[in-house]
Structure 1
Amino acid sequence: MRVTIHQPEHLPWLGLLAKVAASELWIVLDSVPYRKNYVQNRNRVLLDGRPTWLTVPVSAPLGTPIHEVRICEVPHWRRRYRGRLAQALAATPGATRIGPVLELLDAAPPGGRLADLNLGLAAWLLGQFDVKVPRVRASALRVAGTRSELLVNLCREVGADEYLSGPSGREYLNLPAFAEQGIAVRFFDFDHPAYDQGDAPFVPRLSAVDAWARLEAPELPPLLSRYRLSPA
């Protein structure tokens, strides 16, 4: 079984959707410390031709595991978030279909868990791209370890014999640790597709909600097929 292990990003980009689609199981890495100023509580959309952040305020003291990070109810943040998203999608076909995203946002309770919101949004996006891959949270597996040791132990816990890593894994993975457990490692390199974003120059690595809003449903799954798998 091929697994990928990745943190629960907020409104993830096409590359994460594609890596999940290329796997048989997504282990949601929510047991490691929250990373500030990353894409765990925010992502970008295109607003007036410029990448603009949509941000969920959180309370996350240093070292807080991702699955324990709470949404911080800063005044008016939901209104600002909704307003920016509506503006960004105003001229797209998806403008009238964004209701499910807003419902998930509004349903997140004050003080609720960020990971729950992120995974709800990720599940919705994966469904729009016709991806049907099961997932399990690392926090539910209760596996110990750090760095490559943790990844190997997670793979062993679910019976994986192949681990699909992002390209940065070439720099930090302890490949012999995987080999000792009979787990093959492959690296996933995503070739970001360009699609029509209007008159402005194309901006890659936005939230996948941008592509979803601009394209028709049959055009979405092929966007996730542009990748290369390389053996370690």
Structure 2
Amino acid sequence: MKLAIMQPYFLPYIGYYQLIGAVDRFIVYDNIKYVKKGWINRNRMLLNGTDAMFSLPLKKDSDALDIRDRELAPDFDRAKLLNRWRGAYRTAPFFEATFPLLEKIVSFEDPNLFRYLFNSLRMTSEHLGLKTTFKISSEVPIDHSLKFQDKVLALCEAEGTQKYINAIGGLELYDSAAFSARGIEFRALRSRPFPYEQFGQPHVPYLSIVDLLMFNSVSNLNEIIAENYDLVDKA
């Protein structure tokens, strides 16, 4: 069984969905600390030929809280976010095919940050035709006081993992020998460049999946998700 584990992000770049598509089961961390100014509740879109940030506003709270304990701001203006996307992409070739998905994602009413993000990941993955099973980290019966690599190893063993695949940053974070010692093959997923047409302007890479869906058919993205990456180790 192939497994990946990641914290949730809001409509992340295609590499995240490549990781989902590369495994049988995808565990999403809910009992992990919220990282301020990270990518958990924000991402980048194309606006007038350059990248621009969009985000989910959060209710003010302690920075020590886990993702599952944070909430969206009560005054989160869903219509405003949708209008930003509409204004930026209304003439994109796949706007009509993509915007209803964004409306469903943004209109999700649960104010809990984790559940909002988890819903968006599942809906986007379903739209892309990914068949991977999702699981929430706190629902796996392990010692959740474990940290970093020890927690990943415990999750892998609890799920009967033969192959663990991490985002490319895992090459620096984890010791592949520690996985091998538990009978688990470790690999990291490295996305290959994927330039595509963006209103005839110079390509702006690594934007949110929103941008890719606006300019590419789902069938084209299926090919990119399935094939346009390499699985590497420290060697």
TM-score, length-scaled by structure 2: 0.91
CA distance in 2, matches of 1:83, 1:160: 43
Q: Which residue of 2 aligns with 1:103?
A: 104
Q: Which residue of 1 aligns with 2:209?
A: 208
Q: Which residue of 2 aligns with 1:129?
A: 128
Q: Which residue of 2 aligns with 1:160?
A: 161
How far apart are 1:142 and its partner, in Å?
4.9
Q: Is the 8 A contact 1:45 1:207 kept in 2?
A: yes
Q: Which residue of 1 aligns with 2:137?
A: 138
CA distance in 1, matches of 2:19, 2:37: 23
Matched, 1:231 2:233: yes
CA distance in 1, matches of 2:193, 2:4: 19
| Alpha-carbon displacement from aligned partner over 1:68-99 (angstroms, at most 9, x marks no partner) | 2211123x632321121111211113332312
Q: Could you tell me the percent identity over the aligned residues? A: 23
CA distance in 1, matches of 2:174, 2:119: 29
Matched, 1:18 2:7: no
Q: Is the 8 A contact 1:42 1:54 kept in 2?
A: yes
Call closer, same or farther: CA 1:185–1:213 in 2, change over 3 Å. same
Unaligned regions of 5+ residues in structure 1, if any? none
Call closer, same or farther: CA 1:57–1:142 in 2, change over 3 Å. farther
- Of 77-86 and 27-36, more deviation after overlay is shown by 77-86
Unaligned regions of 5+ residues in structure 2, if any? none
Query: What is the DSSP-based 3-state SS (H/G/I as helix, E as strand, rest coil) of the residue aligned with 2:230?
Result: strand
How far apart are 1:10 and its partner, in Å?
0.2
Q: Is the 8 A contact 1:8 1:119 kept in 2?
A: yes
TM-score, length-scaled by structure 1: 0.92
How far apart are 1:177 and its partner, in Å?
2.7
CA distance in 1, matches of 2:149, 2:210: 31
Q: C-alpha root-mean-square deviation of aligned residues, in Å?
A: 1.6
CA distance in 2, matches of 1:172, 1:215: 33
Alignment map for 1:1-232 (pairs within 5 Å): 1-59=1-59, 60-74=61-75, 77-97=77-97, 98-109=99-110, 112-143=111-142, 144=144, 145-224=146-225, 225-232=227-234
Q: Is the 8 A contact 1:56 1:77 kept in 2?
A: no
Q: Is the 8 A contact 1:167 1:188 kept in 2?
A: yes
CA distance in 2, matches of 1:86, 1:140: 37
Q: Which amino acid aligns with 1:229?
A: L
CA distance in 2, matches of 1:34, 1:217: 31
How far apart are 1:167 and its partner, in Å?
1.7
Q: How many residues align?
A: 229
CA distance in 2, matches of 1:114, 1:142: 23
How far apart are 1:18 and its partner, in Å?
0.5
Runs of 4 or more off by more than 6 Å in structure 1? none
- Of 32-41 and 61-70, more deviation after overlay is shown by 61-70
- Of 167-176 and 84-93, more deviation after overlay is shown by 167-176
| Alpha-carbon displacement from aligned partner over 1:143-178 (angstroms, at most 9, x marks no partner) | 321010010011111111211022211212133332
CA distance in 1, matches of 2:148, 2:134: 20
